[in-house]
Structures are given as C-alpha cells and as structure tokens.
Amino acid sequence: GAVVSQHPSWVICKSGTSVKIECRSLDFQATTMFWYRQFPKQSLMLMATSNEGSKATYEQGVEKDKFLINHASLTLSTLTVTSAHPEDSSFYICSVLGISGELFFGEGSRLTVL
Amino acid sequence: KQEVTQIPAALSVPEGENLVLNCSFTDSAIYNLQWFRQDPGKGLTSLLLIQSSQREQTSGRLNASLDKSSGRSTLYIAASQPGDSATYLCALTGTASKLTFGTGTRLQVTL
C-alpha cells in the first residue's frame, strides 16, 4: 500500500501566523489527496479534495481563503492555515486515494494555536 | 446525504473475548467500505476494505461483513488482546470518492 508522510507531526504557533502542513505520497503518484480535520473526541471531517494541477474542492463550511491547499505535484499536497486562531487548533490528516479506491492516511499533524 | 452511525460508542471487554462492532449507513449507493483503527493522537490505520460487490473480508483475527441492502457492516474481532484497544472507525466511499466516516467505537480490552 501507499506510504503517506505528513510534516510536521505537531506544531505550536502564535495567533495570527500561518502554518503549512505537507502531505507526501512516498511510493505512489497521487492525483487525488484529501484533507481532514479532527477535533477532540469527534470523528474525522473532510475539509477538501486536492486534485493535482487544479484547484481544490472544499466542503461546505470550510473557508477556502483560510485553508489554502496546493497540489502542485503528484507526490505533494500542502495545507496552509492562514492567520491561525485558537479555534483552528485541531488534528489535521491527509489521505491518498489508491487505485482500488482504498485510502491511505498520513500520521496526522497536531496544530495548537496559542 | 450519507449518515454513518456506529454502535456502541464505547466498549470494554476482558482479554480473550470475541466482539462485534456495528456500522450502519443510510445510503446504499457506495463504492466500498473501510474499517480503520485510530490510536490516540495518531493517524488512521486501514484494517479492511470491502468493495461494494463483496460480502466480507478477513485479515487475521478480523472479519468485516457488508450488507448493503440493510445498510450495515460489522467488524468481528476474535480473541481480543489489550493491543486491540483503540477507536475503530468505519467509512464509506460514495460519489466522487468522498469518504464519510462513522462516529467511531472506542474499544478497551482489559487484562
């Protein structure tokens, strides 16, 4: 199966700063990646679908200007949380769509905004 | 809109017991169903994938079934071990490859 790497695994930042999270598909060319967010004791919620070479598709209620997604290559998608605030503190997970429809997940990135 | 529910929300069993986790969904138009486990603060680990044309999948002590007509899937764990303690999530892939997650079942296997 695909190996998915996320970086950083955890990050602490001050309110108002921007944070970039990388998601890499190490052994698979991924045309489609997904970004999820998970608040404590809640299930994962899909934020957006990232398609290589085109604009991301955002789920309802997710601010595209706040959560910038770039999928410039078949192995890398980035999520940038702009002007982060404490309410953006969450666990962010990316996943890669495999050929059979299976999803492979990164280890996640925990963001804490002070 | 697809809704996925998992029952029970939490479960505690003694080591060695066999157990069943349930997942129910409202829209049977799915491509596949996956079961994941999530350890605290970690990403998801895929356990089993069942395509919509399949009825069940097995991997080691795990067996997952799918009944689209009734909108149900079960994950059977045989001879549970403390290392099985985690949150188990079912997720359905629908149109546009979007994944809808269930609410999760938190499993605790005690010594």
Q: What is the mean pLDDT of chain B?
A: 91
Instruction: Output B29 or A44, whichever has higher pLDDT.
Output: B29
Mean pLDDT of A27-41: 84
Is the pLDDT at B82 greater than 70? The verdict is yes
pLDDT at residue A1 in the model:
56
pLDDT at residue B16 in the model:
97
Spatial distance between the Cα atoms of B108 and B106, rounded to a whole number of angstroms: 7
Compute CA A61 distance to the chain's CA centroid, rounded to the nearest angstrom: 16
From B41, B93, B102, residue closest to A101, measured CB to CB: B93
Tell me the β-bridge partners of A38. Answer: A91
**Cβ atoms of A30 and A97 closer than 8 Å:** yes
A32 touches chain B (CB under 8 A): yes
pLDDT at residue B100 in the model:
84
Spatial distance between the Cα atoms of B13 and B4, rounded to a whole number of angstroms: 24
Residues of B in contact with A54 (CB under 8 A): none
Q: Mind listing the pLDDT tens digit for each residue in A79-101?
A: 999 999 999 999 999 998 777 77
Q: Do A101 and B102 touch (CB under 8 A)?
A: no
